[in-house]
Structure 1
Amino acid sequence: MQPSDLDNRVATLNDRYRHHSATAVLEHALHDPDAGKLALVSSFGAESVVLLHMVSVARRDTPVIFIDTQMLFAETLVYQQELAERLDLRDLRIIRAADTALQRQDPDGTLHKTAPDACCALRKTEPLQRALDGFGGWITGRKRFQGSSRSTLEFFEAEDGTGRIKVNPLAHWAPEDLRTYMEENRLPRHPLVARGYPSIGCAPCTTRVNEGEDPRSGRWRGQDKTECGIHFVNGRIVRQGENA
């Protein structure tokens, strides 16, 4: 099978920026025609402030997409407002599931208890795909250290089934790199991190993490589910990690 135009562009971008730093990759991607029009998708979670700050420095008018599932912690909503103001984000887009879809699929707000994957699809995946319509790609916070499935993650990758590029500026960063960046730039942490929530999702599906546990063990605790499902492989929605 011949490489597609998308695959060729991704290969060109990875060759072009392979030895660049995270900040340089992000800045170049936001101005490189081969990357297309990009949006940053942010959960305004535990580590999100790093990419949000980078974007505010590199190109403040970059569209920032925030998915309000209407089941988030109040602290996340306040943090989102405070960061947007502090970083002077010029194009923040808050998206939600359509009211008609919520009434049809989750009228009493209990879908997360009986079908968590369906709840994530309704409140996260479907609204995001609509919001990304018209973009050539999107910026994610995924990193190689987050699991074996990401151990070879590149700065740029093709999103099968959509024709878009995903940009992963922090692919090579370690946890200490995140902490150092936050400290050096005096960036505020999500208030729930200090209360035992190193990974933060929707309130009904997130619990505190005990000392020694995996940072994501508080997400969907007790269920055979570890991710929300906003990434694609071979055109299919799969659970592959927090997008930060």
Structure 2
Amino acid sequence: MGRPERAADPIGAAPLRDVAVLEALYGALPTTALLDVAIHDLFPGRLALVSSFGAEAAVLLHLVAQVDRATPVVFVDTDRLFGETLRYRDRLTERLGLTDVRTLAPDAARVAEHDRDGALWLRDANLCCRIRKVEPLAAGLSGFDAWISGRKRFQAATRATIPVFEAEGTRIKVNPLAGWMPADLAAYAARHDLPPHPLVEQGYRSIGCMPCTTRVVEGEDDRAGRWRGQEKIECGIHLGLEADGSGI
């Protein structure tokens, strides 16, 4: 079966900036077909996958690699990640044959200004996330019209209604796994023999920076271990916290 026909208008035209149109045309496609259309037809050369190389990252990375291994993969190293995450990034990159993994880092001057003692996460977790994750990602996505996110509706109440296509500032965000359930992820990973993040078997089901990540117990949602004891449940990337007004 060939690819579904894309909309006749070029990417700069209004219909392809209209997420309702994109959702109607492509939102119900099988995941691989959706990624194929997004990477090759809708946003050719102007789309990146943003990955944390976290607990569920292998599935989406594998799906994208099957479509096009040269798709840019953007990864933010906050300088507060688990060593297991960095080694997992390297392992998956080699295993999947990804050819354009871009590791971003926080601006050294911003860190020196606000986090000289490395304890900003205790004083102001939102500012810490902004400096160490949101701002580097905003810079790394410069030049892209769209990006792929691995969010799923089951992960948290804040994600329960996410669509496949979202407008975010001047960019389009694509959530190809929005409707996937834990059983779907597990079955896909088993079918393709994908290695799990090494911290998953230790009880970490959502893995971010080491100081702000704890194990999750049975009955909690996957992101309950992030910023435990705080009202904060998102780093800011998916809440429209913009570093330069362009949206990420």
Q: TM-score, with normalisation over the residues of structure 2?
A: 0.87
Is the 1:35–1:165 contact (alpha carbons within 8 Å) kept by the matching residues of 2? no
Q: Deviations over 1:2-57 (max 9, x none)?
A: xx937754233222213311121111110123677100000000001111001111
Q: Report the equivalent of 1:63.
A: 72
1:195–1:131: structure 2 CA closer, same or farther, 3 Å change rule? same
Once the 2 structures are TM-superposed, how far is the Cα of residue 175 of structure 1 from its aligned partner? 1.1
Partner of 1:73: 82
Runs of 4+ displaced beyond 6 Å: none
Aligned-partner SS, 1:31: helix
Q: Any conservation in 1 of the 2:48–2:73 contact (CA below 8 Å)? A: yes
Give the 3-state SS of the residue equivalent to 2:58 in structure 1: helix
1:30 has 2:39 as partner: yes
Within 5 Å, which residues of 2 pair with 1:1-244? 5=14, 8-33=17-42, 37-159=46-168, 162-232=169-239, 236-237=240-241
Contact preservation (8 Å) 1:13, 1:35:
no
Q: Is there any run of 5+ residues in structure 2 with no aligned partner, and where?
A: 1-12, 243-248
Name the CA distance, whole Å, in 2 between partners of 1:25 and 1:169.
Answer: 7
Q: Which amino acid aligns with 1:112?
A: W
Name the aligned partner's letter for residue 229 of structure 1: G
**Matched position secondary structure for 1:126:** helix
Paired residues of 2:43 and 2:146 also in contact (CA < 8 A): no
Q: For 1:188 and 1:173, how far apart are their aligned partners in 2?
A: 19
Alpha-carbon spacing, 1:215–1:152, altered in 2? closer, same or farther (3 Å): closer
1:7/1:32 CA distance change after superposition, 3 Å: closer
SS at match of 1:237: coil
Q: 1:71 to 1:34 in 2, by over 3 A?
A: closer
Determine helix, strand or coil for the equivalent of 1:213. Answer: coil
User: Partner letter of residue 82 of structure 2?
Assistant: F
Instruction: Check conservation: 1:9, 1:34, Cα contact below 8 A.
Output: no
Per the TM alignment, residue 128 of structure 1 is displaced from its structure 2 partner at its CA by: 0.3
Cα distance change on mapping 1:30 and 1:127 into 2, 3 Å: same
Q: For the residues of structure 1 that align with 2:148 and 2:156, how far apart are their CA atoms? A: 19
1:88 positional shift: 1.1
Contact 2:156 2:223 in 1 (8 A): no
Further displaced range: 142-151 or 170-179: 142-151
Q: What is the CA distance between 1:186 and its match in structure 2? A: 0.5
Give the root-mean-square deviation of aligned CA atoms.
Answer: 1.8
SS state at 2:113 partner? helix
Rate the CA distance shift 1:228–1:181 in 2: closer, same or farther, 3 A. same
Moved more, 177-186 or 150-159: 150-159
Q: SS in structure 2 opposite 1:66?
A: strand
What TM-score comes out, normalization by structure 1 length?
Answer: 0.88
Q: Secondary structure at the match of 1:30?
A: helix
